[in-house]
Structure 1
Amino acid sequence: MPVKQVINKGRVPIKIYTDQIEHGALNQLINIAQLPIIHHHVAAMPDVHAGIGATVGSVIPTAGAIIPAAVGVDIGCGMNAVRLTLKAADLPDDLRRLRGAVEQAVPVGFNHHDKPTVQRKAVNQLDAGLDRIIGRHPGIAKMQKPHVWARQLGTLGGGNHFIELCLDENQAVWVMLHSGSRGIGNVIGRYFISLARKDAQRHQLHLPDRDLAYFQEGAEHFDDYVHAVEWAQDYALANRREMMRLVVEALRPLLPPFQVSKEAINCHHNYVARETHFGQDLFLTRKGAIAAARDQLGIIPGSMGTRSYIVRGKGNAESFCSCSHGAGRTMSRSEAKRRFNRSDLEAQTRGVECRKDKGVLDEIPGAYKDIDQVMADQTDLVDIVHTLKQVLCVKG
């Protein structure tokens, strides 16, 4: 579908790919559109909803500046998916042993490995980059214990992060996972968000929201933030690669012999990139959105009881070559816990081997938008390549 709403209440228009947007999210978008650094327009994807710092599901083009709170604290959060040379018939009837093997191999929540599991060369490369960041900003080291980040490589985290075993429309088996830059990304995000707020106060910037404080090119902390956020995004990619390796190896002893096919996708959906749009070199922040350049493959997950999609981008200029990053929440986590109970969770995840306790109640499918409607709203942005349905889900 083409753009459904165009809102002209800021310095630039807001182009929205859904007719279902809550008041809070719209106000956040209007605030963003008032900033002098925004180029051309702001785009809102079909899964748009209110977020912390900036609207989730927004694509924010900034000229010569970056808004740290728009990038957020889960820097580089995103998806990874691979197809295996297995079919549904190759899976056991009872998937509990498979879930147990994955949970044993990949620490979840605040847990981490006892020691780094990735090759020492990869750790050393990341370590050197982080040392340069901390050398200029020692306050970052005070916010996280030394080298915890190395033991968190290949770990899931909590919240909406997950690992799934899925079947596509041809009954082929896929492994799909969702995670980001873990604790160190959170520390880097919070540290520079605080610096941006202090800079805004010092320079007496008149902002519609203090979370929209930004660094401009040439400012004291601009280059340091760019370096730090790019490091965190690289870390997130490495984290997903290592996690995928651990999951695949955990599954091998419990399944018939298999290989990983060439269809591997590793994409961010909370990040900033240097791109050119509407004749301008920009810093493009995708806050809960993925890149969807022409023929670019991406992943749009649903909730833990609904379908997910492997998609191919159409390179739509109005969306800044972007599309949604998932279904998008319709209610807060606290509201989901008030509205639903364990019986609801069991009913909405029937047929999926997963946790069904109150600890994951805030991730119940009913707390999310209808993924099919989200996909229908972005037919101008992507084509569906594969439709996946999970049979196993591990949550943080």
Structure 2
Amino acid sequence: MTLFHFTGIKGSGMSSLAQILHDAGEQVQGSDIEKYFFTEAPLHERNITVLPFNEDNIKAGMTIIAGNAFPDDHPELVRAKELGVEVIRYHKFLGEYINRYVSVAVTGAHGKTSTTGLLSHVLGGYKPTSYLIGDGTGVGHSDASFFVLEACEYRRHFLAYHSDYAIMTNIDFDHPDYFADIDDVFDAFQSLAHQVSKAIIACGDDEQLQKIQANVPVVYYGFSESNDFQARNIKKTTDGTTFDVYLRNDFYYTFHIPLYGDHTVLNTLAVISLCHYENIPAEIVQARLSTYGGVKRRFTQTTIGHTILIDDYAHHPTEINATLQSARQKFPDKEVIAVFQPHTFTRTQKFLQQFADSLAQADKAYLCDIFGSAREQQGELTISDLINLIEGAESLSVEHIDVLAKHQDAVFLFMGAGDVNKFQKAFEQLLQNN
């Protein structure tokens, strides 16, 4: 049996793929830097060996799966070349691996992690389903029928995939360090559309997605009547959301989800549309929706006394709007406090006013220093530039986390793609000590 060695196994996609191969009966090990990352917990739970980087980890007869963050001159990859060992990049390996299954690539500027998690949970109630989620979660089955994967548009990585289906949640301008503008982003999605072999499930309320051309059927979902699958009669409560689905203007089924906000209705419609295309009964879909527990870092709730803490990956103005809407629906009587850590200087600079507009919808905003990326230069921008655009906003540091304690019985939204969780951990500690 081949031993798969993952160079950079703690990467979110790499960790997920290692978990999938292990679950499916393969021999797996990997290496990375020694700093702890949350993505390694599921590796340790499976007793997958995680080594420090060392060229001596590489032995003849292995197959090396290399993380995209590590260049060809990485010592392990150089040693592999010397030994004549096969090295295959993460996306290329995954692109070939999914061809064994009915594959669904879930993509979009926003909502892809949540939709991937929801779809894999629902499909798993019908037939064995392997899945890879960008939050570091991977599950494999040796007898899987479906393979669901989160497919990221950044650097056009998703063009490594030729899937049976693609779910496209939206097209929005993000990653300004790579994409030139919205047209450049659209071009990437258009290229992916030509690689799909069965059908594309797309949000018809998104004006960019309305322009997608494909050689396979494009099935649209959304709130407007022009969609193939439309949500009507939406009822929002503190327990979740109920809505009727109409299929080309004929009533199909009434669904209830234990989720909040318009974006969760759209994500669910995408799942319902794909399941209908695969002839999965609505009753099975509803039963699975009822038991869905969410994915990591997407509106993840912790309660301490009367204080609610929400951990969310929101790092773009559109996502902040969605998280705030969810909080208002679930906790209509509570003060909503935004704690936001911008992720990358390029994104913060590009969307400075949009960030200000979205955060201003909270009852109070606290802003942490910008979490930069190794890929970029800081320049002149600081967090003060954003604070100055939001009335009443304040800066926040871990050392002065006690400033949050003056908001009694509130909902705190800790949002960002960097290490904003260290602010939440410090606040949790303060609340527990008090």
TM-score range, shorter chain: under 0.3
TM-score (norm 2): 0.23
TM-score (norm 1): 0.24
